Amino acid sequence: DADVTQTPRNRITKTGKRIMLECSQTKGHDRMYWYRQDPGLGLRLIYYSFDVKDINKGEISDGYSVSRQAQAKFSLSLESAIPNQTALYFCATSDPYRDAEFGANVLTFGAGSRLTVL
Amino acid sequence: GDSVTQMEGPVTLSEEAFLTINCTYTATGYPSLFWYVQYPGEGLQLLLKATKADDKGSNKGFEATYRKETTSFHLEKGSVQVSDSAVYFCALTYNQGGKLIFGQGTELSVKP
């Protein structure tokens, strides 16, 4: 099983609908992130959480909300989806103190959730 | 604010060609620098990193040197393979933050 699992992998919805993207991890990391990827813009940070009680806005949080249900689960919600939220969404995790291969501050990404808002 | 700029793609090369993907950054402090790679249909994965000036990161035949004087972290590989076809992202972060600032990504296509 993947270390970071995102569901759904693909979703098509209509303007105004509420959408939830879910992320779960088996890395045991405290820190979790949601990014969106748009062609030509790279990845931009939406929200991040350094532990279950700590939620922070990223650079493009408007129109999004998050919930950290447990250390292993971090969900992203679009309360009323709009077409310019069509993008590829990535969840990621990190541990600032230990990473066996590359050291601190390395992100582990999920495979992505492609959302299309019509 | 801090930012990362990469050369525009797509970059198309023949197998065994030499690869350079340029990356420059603007930073107020002394960040760590990363290259991530995204293979088709997958999430990003770390390729290499460097944490201070003059450090060289290397992995899978790729390497990049942290150049503080030119604020650059160019990715190089001496002989690319078809399997290297992917999108490459340069990124920076400050210690303990984990919040990466990404460049826009550069698509590499390697032809047999």
Give A15-41 pLDDT, tens digit per residue: 999 999 999 999 898 899 999 999 888
Is the pLDDT score of A74 beyond 50?
A: yes
Contact B19, B5 (CB under 8 A): no
- The candidate with the shortest Cα–Cα distance to B91, out of A64, A109, A117, is A109
Radius of gyration of chain A, Cα coordinates, nearest whole angstrom: 14
pLDDT tier for residue B29 given thresholds of 50, 70 and 90: confident
Q: For residue B87, is it left (φ>0), alpha (ψ between -120 and 50) or beta? A: beta
What are B33-89's pLDDT values in tens digits? 999 999 988 889 999 999 889 999 999 999 999 999 999 999 999 999 999 999 999
User: Rounded to a whole number, what is the distance in Å from the CA of B7 to chain A's nearest CA?
Assistant: 11
CA distance from start to end of chain A:
32
For an interface test with A, which of B55, B99, B106 has the most A Cβ atoms less than 10 Å from its Cβ? B99
Tokens standing for residue B10:
């797509």
Contact B110, B13 (CB under 8 A): yes
B89 CB neighbour count, 10 Å cutoff: 25
Can you name the residues that pair with A19 across neighbouring β-strands?
A: A78
Whole-Å CA distances, A105 to A43, B64, B94? 17, 18, 9
A60 touches chain B (CB under 8 A): no
Cβ–Cβ gap B97/A105 under 8 Å? yes
pLDDT of residue A9: 95
Residues of B (57-86) whose Cβ lies below 8 Å from A: none
Name which residue leads in pLDDT, A26 or A101: A26
